[in-house]
Amino acid sequence: MNNRVQIEAADLSGMVTHWLGCPPGGYLGSDYGSDVKSLLQTPMASGMADALIEKCRADIPLLALARPGTVNVGYSDLGIDRRSIVFEVAGELIDVVDQG
């Protein structure tokens, strides 16, 4: 039998949403999870966003197989003095404010 399963962008987005909601070490014996709040008060040019993307790709094996640029991290302005971290996964946007 050759059963093929197609993974949609929404599926990858759901996996990253779960990952964002799990603190590092949230599963016994695993460092799976994100410390996305460590990006707060850190300049985007510091390279921490790239490290977070690499951790995401390492923790979610399907993302490790995806093309570079499938996962991006940025921010959106919430007002004059607030910003929100935003993940983009294959064109799907995940606002980190709604996670965890």
DSSP calls for 21-36: HSPTT-STT---S--G
pLDDT value of residue 99: 47
Residue 75 gets which letter from DSSP?
E
CA-CA-CA-CA torsion for 36, 52, 61, 12, nearest 10 degrees? 60
pLDDT value of residue 56: 92
pLDDT value of residue 66: 86
- Which portions of the chain are predicted below pLDDT 70? 1, 44, 97-100
Question: Taking the domains of the chain in order of start, what are their residue ranges?
Answer: 9-98
For the whole model, what pTM was predicted?
Answer: 0.81
pLDDT value of residue 1: 58
